Amino acid sequence: MRLNFLQNHPLNTNSNQILISSKYPNISPIDPKESTQLQKDSKNFAEKFGGDKAHSFGFLCGDWLEFFLKLYPSYKIAYAIGNHQQSYQAFKMLNFKAIPIAPDKKNAQIQIKSVTKAIQNQCDCFIIPFINEDILTFNPIEKIKEELSKSLKKFLLIIDVSAALSLNITLPKILDAQTLFLINGESLGILRGNGAIITKDFKQPQILPQSLLNPKLFEAFLNAMHSPIQKQENTKNKFYQYLQIELKNHINLFSPLKNTPPNCLALRFSSIKVRNLLQSLLLQKIHAINGAQCLYGLSMPSFVLQEMGYSEMDSRELLSISYNTTIKDDTLIKLSKAISYSYKQIRQLEV
């Protein structure tokens, strides 16, 4: 069973076949027929979000680094910890100061007071995910937009909506000339390195990265949007209750369940390195992760938790769970018992 749905979305075979269906990697720069079709696909995809144009964006570290460098001359950047791991990696490489905004420990969300403080520090560009990496919590995007509109005449709000699309969550209608949406193709099952920026009435194209475009990118995105993974029954509360029955005070949460999407849990297992738990669960064909850096084989605990103020050891206690299948009660109980058994075995061995 796979419990890492959000971070390891299944590939969409049909969409990827479209993506690689071009005979040549570049369209003709002078053939109006080819450019017209590309513009049509871009417009049709953007309209799914209330936008008027989609732009290619690779979503890897180098793409993010270019984006930061293009934003820098025009804006002072406030960067939300909880963005994609590749974005965070680029952020750490910057040779100019961008203001980090971390989720608070209590709610595991970006707080309005943190946004207000960044505004007081002259920040006017905010890069914030709809759902935080690793800790799997919603950020109050609409309230953040209201705060920016109230406090600043000129600003740019850049929102990564990828995880929301994975979960088929309806997005707020807030796209405008000062708000951009970012989409990682991986979150729709499209091959890594293919993403998009959605704009509406945008007057600053010079700040957007100049990613080389796959001619079939937006057609592939449209195909993926036409066949989204369907919503399933939300059983996260039951799952956590069953785990509590088995583990009692040895299990807790890094993120309150009220602030996480359906079937998403940021579990905290007391006094163990979750990596050892993952190895044990894998033998039972249960796939899960500590966080994005664990998934990518970097052997490091959650950067999000560490930026929030947790120690490295504390951060190793995270099991970041997300699933998009309807799991019946008897299966939830079996899962809880399997996780509990593995946890208790690890504790005994460590003693």
Task: Say whether both 52 and 199 belong to one domain.
Answer: yes
**Residue 247 belongs to what domain range?**
236-350
Q: Is residue 231 part of a domain?
A: no
Residues 6+ apart with CB under 8 A from 23: none
Domain boundary among 226, 255, 279: 226
Calculate the alpha carbon distances from 104 to 101, 135, 219 in Å: 9, 11, 39
Q: Is residue 4 part of a domain?
A: no
Residues 6+ apart with CB under 8 A from 164: 130, 131, 171, 261
- Residue 348 is predicted with a pLDDT of 87
Average pLDDT score over residue span 25-31: 84
Residues 6+ apart with CB under 8 A from 219: 18, 41
Residues in the chain: 351
Domain count, the chain: 2
Q: Which of 169-183, 189-203, 220-234, 244-258 has the lowest mean pLDDT?
A: 220-234
Q: Is residue 7 part of a domain?
A: no
Q: What is the average pLDDT score of the chain? A: 95
CA distance 223 to 242: 38
Domain boundary among 197, 226, 255: 226
- Residue 95 is predicted with a pLDDT of 84
Q: What angle do CA 164, 218, 199 make, to 5 degrees?
A: 65
Instruction: Calculate the dihedral angle through the C-alpha atoms of 49, 51, 57, 61, rounding to the nearest 10 degrees.
Output: -70
Contact status, residue 70 vs residue 203, Cβ threshold 8 Å: no
CATH code of the domain covering residue 248:
3.90.1150.10
Q: Is residue 44 part of a domain?
A: yes
Summarised one tens digit per residue, pLDDT across range 111-167 is 999 999 999 999 999 999 999 999 999 999 999 999 999 999 999 999 999 999 999
CATH code of the domain covering residue 99:
3.40.640.10
- Residue 299 is predicted with a pLDDT of 77
Contact status, residue 109 vs residue 257, Cβ threshold 8 Å: no
Is the pTM of the predicted complex or chain greater than 0.85? yes
Task: Say whether both 103 and 215 belong to one domain.
Answer: yes
Q: Kindly write down the DSSP assignment for every residue of 82-131, as one continuous string.
A: TS-HHHHHHHHH-SS--EEEPPPTTT-S--HHHHHHHHHTT--EEEEESB
Token code pair at residue 70: 């293009």
Task: Say whether both 249 and 137 belong to one domain.
Answer: no
CA distance 198 to 92: 25
Summarised one tens digit per residue, pLDDT across range 59-73 is 999 999 999 999 999
